[in-house]
């Protein structure tokens, strides 16, 4: 069986303990952390240099910056999967990224959230199960059967 490619992840989070937790969880579950950024500028610089597959982004960053500014600056990186991990999902739209996980979240929920975003990037679809406090920002091309209530109704 072909071994899965190690996915590179950028972390944008201004809280030390939270950033540290994300990093150790990612490493523990077999991801590669290509950088931790505290500000929008740092995140953009790391992304340009390291070309990550995924980004875990907090909305409120140091120096008053917003995580959504990172997504806007990197909008040309169409293969970058963006998962917001934030205290407040208000005001996030499809233009900002792929999904959002609301703090506090557990490690396994973070990992599952990233898997869903990676799947979205690779196939345009997503499969259940969704973690707690997880929300898709973009609509999948073809939602899986279980996510389409009308299809379920037809089938029964």
Partner 1 sequence: MTLLKEKSDEQKDAEAVVDDFRQDRGPFVVAAETTRMPMVFTDAKAPGNPIIFANDAFLALTGYRRDEVLAQSFNALMERGHPESVEAIKAAFEGVSASDPVIHYCRKDASTFWVSVFINHVRSQSGEVVQHFISFIDLTQHREEQAHALMLIEELNHRVKNTLQAALSIVAEAFRHGSDPAAIRASIESRVYALARSHDLLMSDNWEGAGLHDLVETALEPFTDADGRAGRIEITGANTPLTPRATLALGVAFHELAMNAVKFGALSTALGSVQIAWASKATPEGERLLIDWREKDGPAVMPRTRKGFGSRAIEQGLAYEMGGKVHLEFPSTGVACTIDIPMPRRAGHE
Least distance in angstroms from the C-beta of 116 to partner 1: 20
Least distance in angstroms from the C-beta of 119 to partner 1: 24
CB atoms under 10 Å from CB of 9, counted, come to 25
Total residues contacting partner 1 by CB under 8 A comes to 22
Of residues 109 and 120, the one with the C-beta less far from partner 1: 109
Of residues 16 and 94, the one with the C-beta less far from partner 1: 16
Least distance in angstroms from the C-beta of 15 to partner 1: 5
Binding flag, residue 107, partner 1 (CB under 8 A): yes
Q: Which residue has the tokens 């406090």?
A: 133
Is there a contact between 67 and 21 (Cβ–Cβ < 8 Å)? no
Least distance in angstroms from the C-beta of 25 to partner 1: 7
Q: Is the dihedral of CA 68, 107, 118, 103 positive or negative?
A: negative
Binding flag, residue 89, partner 1 (CB under 8 A): no
Binding flag, residue 66, partner 1 (CB under 8 A): no
Residue 152: alpha-carbon gap to chain centroid: 28
Binding flag, residue 30, partner 1 (CB under 8 A): no
**Dist. CA 146–CA 153, nearest whole Å:** 11
**Dist. CA 47–CA 42, nearest whole Å:** 9
Among 8, 50, 60, 138, binds partner 1 (CB under 8 A): 60
Is there a contact between 97 and 82 (Cβ–Cβ < 8 Å)? yes
**Dist. CA 29–CA 35, nearest whole Å:** 16
Which residues of this chain interact with partner 1, rule CB under 8 A? 15-21, 24-25, 28, 36, 38, 60, 62, 86-88, 103-107
């Amino acid at each position: 069986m072909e071994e899965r490619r190690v996915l590179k992840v950028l972390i944008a989070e201004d809280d030390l303990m939270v950033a540290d937790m994300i990093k150790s969880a990612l490493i523990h579950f077999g991801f590669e952390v290509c950088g931790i950024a505290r500000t929008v500028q740092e995140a953009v610089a790391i992304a340009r240099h390291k070309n990550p597959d995924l980004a875990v982004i907090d909305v409120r960053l140091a120096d008053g910056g917003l995580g959504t500014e990172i997504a806007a600056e990197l909008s040309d990186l169409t293969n970058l999967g963006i998962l917001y991990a934030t205290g407040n999902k208000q005001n996030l739209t499809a233009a900002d990224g792929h999904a959002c996980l609301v703090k506090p979240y557990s490690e396994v929920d973070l990992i599952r959230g990233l898997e869903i975003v990676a799947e979205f990037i690779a196939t345009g679809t997503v499969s259940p199960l969704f973690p707690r406090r997880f929300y898709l920002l973009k609509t999948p091309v073809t939602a899986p059967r279980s996510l389409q209530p009308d299809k379920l109704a037809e089938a029964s």
